[in-house]
């Protein structure tokens, strides 16, 4: 049945020709990834979505990625998410009303519009990117977060960073900001659970959000590996917690992880702290070059929402396009898209 589904995808793709392009994130499952025309991390896929002139951008990723593809492509192009239930649990940890309330509450102590640059991780809904667009803020991805923070501190003295506290903390740490000056804004409590003094002193307000996949990686996994393989090298995604990042030799986005191991010498052994589909793929890929690539956790850490994009949904989506039906279109409202684009364009310009 799997092979039949693959054949349906191949046939529909052939029929659509250049009218459709399939984009896939590195975390996509192997049986979908193999059909992709374009692959990358979130930043690379944003650039690719902005550049393609296909009519249909079929996005094998999660909801916010398809939104970004819609925002960055031209109005006639159509962005499609093969399963609308493919969300990102981290993106759901920040919403516009929580962020607007934080902005209002902070304004009781300092004027945020004069002192704070809002920075949203690309893993967020389009209305949050629009919020950043309106408030002279910016978007970042895991590959440019430190650079984006540097830009932000040139605009204003403080940053409100959402939704991923770990990416915010690690990137702030890289700029030399002490941990005490990066308190977490807990949106479940009045004033984010912070004292007026903490608010005045803060350089970066982090957000109470995290990735449920990357939170599974723990420092003891690294300690165990290093004990067993003293020459082993550890590489992690910055969505991992601070202790894991600190204990790693390299920290970076999915694209960075792949490139770093690709450039390494034969005979090296790697422990990788990121999603399982990616690690399994590169374990196979680099085996022939004599590199050993191991997954960091003894548990299965998969992005289950990204995995909702399966061959069945992809085949169904493409066959509908062949028949002239657009299914599962992702369309960001025009005004919101305009504001979100401001924040995205600021990022693309400095990346
Ligand atoms: P990158 O694509 O920037 O590596 O981020 C990983 C991720 O979690 C995407 O949601
Ligand atoms: Fe979201 Fe985590 Fe999945 Fe990335 S890996 S899409 S951050 S849930």
Digit-coded pLDDT (tens) for 127-145? 999 999 999 999 999 999 9
Mean pLDDT score across all residues of the chain: 98
Residue extents of the structural domains in the chain: 2-88+305-332, 91-210, 214-295
Q: pLDDT-derived band of residue 112, with 50, 70 and 90 as boundaries?
A: very high
Q: Which ligand 1 atom is at minimum distance from the Cα of 141?
A: 3
56 is known to lie in a ligand binding site: no
| Residue nearest to ligand 2 atom 8, measured at CA | 88
Digit-coded pLDDT (tens) for 216-244? 999 999 999 999 999 999 999 999 999 99
Strand partners, 161: 119
What is the DSSP secondary structure assignment for residue 279, as one 8-state letter? H
| Residue nearest to ligand 2 atom 1, measured at CA | 88
Does 268 sit in the ligand 2 pocket, CB within 6 Å?
A: no
Q: pLDDT-derived band of residue 1, with 50, 70 and 90 as boundaries?
A: confident
Distance in Å, CA 41 to ligand 1 centroid: 6
How far is the C-alpha of 322 from the C-alpha of 241, rounded, in Å?
44
Average pLDDT over residues 278-302: 96
Contacts of 10 (CB under 8 A, 6+ apart): 35
Token readout for 276 is 């399982």
CATH of 91-210, one of 3.10.620, 3.40.190, 1.10.10, 3.40.50: 3.40.50
pTM: 0.97
Distance in Å, CA 282 to ligand 1 centroid: 16
| Residue nearest to ligand 2 atom 3, measured at CA | 303
What is the DSSP secondary structure assignment for residue 320, as one 8-state letter? H
pLDDT at position 201 = 98
Q: pLDDT-derived band of residue 62, with 50, 70 and 90 as boundaries?
A: very high
Does 117 sit in the ligand 1 pocket, CB within 6 Å?
A: no
- 214-295: CATH topology is Rossmann fold (3.40.50)
How far is the C-alpha of 178 from the C-alpha of 300, rounded, in Å?
33
pLDDT at position 132 = 98
How far is the C-alpha of 210 from the C-alpha of 91, rounded, in Å?
9
pLDDT at position 316 = 98
- 2-88+305-332: CATH topology is Rossmann fold (3.40.50)
Q: Which ligand is nearest to the Cα of residue 259, counting in written order?
A: 1
Average pLDDT over residues 293-317: 96
Q: pLDDT-derived band of residue 334, with 50, 70 and 90 as boundaries?
A: very high
Digit-coded pLDDT (tens) for 240-280? 999 999 999 999 999 999 999 999 999 999 999 999 999 99
Fold agreement (2-88+305-332, 91-210):
yes
Contacts of 315 (CB under 8 A, 6+ apart): 5, 8, 9, 12
Q: Which ligand is nearest to the Cα of residue 142, counting in written order?
A: 1
88 is known to lie in a ligand binding site: yes
Q: Which of 249, 95, 253, 219 is nearest to 162 (CA)?
A: 95
How far is the C-alpha of 99 from the C-alpha of 61, rounded, in Å?
25
Distance in Å, CA 66 to ligand 1 centroid: 13
- Cβ–Cβ < 8 Å for 207, 187: yes
Q: Which ligand 1 atom is at minimum distance from the Cα of 306?
A: 10
State how far the alpha carbon of 241 is from the alpha carbons of 127, 130, 166, 172, in Å: 27, 28, 5, 13
Distance in Å, CA 110 to ligand 1 centroid: 33
266 is known to lie in a ligand binding site: no
How far is the C-alpha of 145 from the C-alpha of 167, rounded, in Å?
8
Does 88 sit in the ligand 2 pocket, CB within 6 Å?
A: yes
| Residue nearest to ligand 2 atom 6, measured at CA | 88
Residues of the chain with pLDDT > 70, as a percent, come to 100
Average pLDDT over residues 190-197: 98
């Amino acid at each position: 049945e799997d092979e039949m589904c693959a054949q349906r995808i191949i046939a529909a793709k052939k029929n659509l020709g250049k009218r459709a392009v399939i984009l896939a994130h590195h975390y996509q499952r192997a049986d979908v990834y193999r059909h992709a025309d374009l692959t990358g991390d979130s930043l690379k896929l944003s650039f690719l979505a902005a550049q393609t002139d296909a009519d249909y951008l079929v996005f094998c990723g999660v909801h916010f990625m398809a939104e970004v593809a819609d925002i960055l492509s031209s109005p006639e192009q159509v962005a499609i998410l093969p399963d609308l239930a493919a969300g990102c649990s981290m993106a759901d940890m920040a919403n516009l009303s929580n962020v607007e309330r934080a902005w209002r509450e902070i304004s009781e102590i300092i004027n945020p519009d004069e002192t704070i640059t809002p920075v949203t991780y690309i893993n967020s809904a389009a209305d949050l990117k629009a919020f950043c667009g309106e408030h002279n803020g910016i978007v970042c991805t895991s590959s440019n977060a430190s650079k984006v923070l540097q830009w932000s501190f040139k605009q204003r003295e403080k940053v409100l960073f959402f939704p991923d506290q770990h990416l915010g903390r690690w990137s702030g740490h890289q700029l030399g900001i002490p941990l005490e000056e990066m308190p977490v804004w807990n949106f479940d409590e009045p004033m984010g659970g912070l004292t007026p003094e903490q608010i005045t002193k803060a350089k970066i307000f982090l957000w109470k959000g995290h990735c449920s996949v990357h939170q599974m990686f723990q420092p003891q996994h690294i300690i165990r590996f290093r004990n067993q393989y003293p020459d082993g090298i550890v590489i992690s995604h910055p969505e991992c917690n601070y202790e894991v990042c600190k204990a790693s030799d390299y920290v970076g986005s999915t694209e960075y992880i792949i490139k770093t191991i690709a450039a390494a010498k034969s005979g090296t052994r790697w422990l990788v702290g990121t999603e399982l589909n990616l690690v399994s793929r590169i374990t196979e890929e680099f085996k022939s070059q004599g590199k050993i690539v191991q997954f960091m956790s003894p548990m299965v850490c998969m992005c289950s929402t990204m995995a909702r994009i399966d061959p069945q949904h992809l085949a169904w989506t493409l066959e509908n396009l062949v028949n002239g039906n657009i299914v599962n279109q992702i369309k960001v409202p025009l005004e919101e898209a305009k504001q979100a684009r401001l924040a995205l364009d600021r990022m693309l310009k400095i990346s």
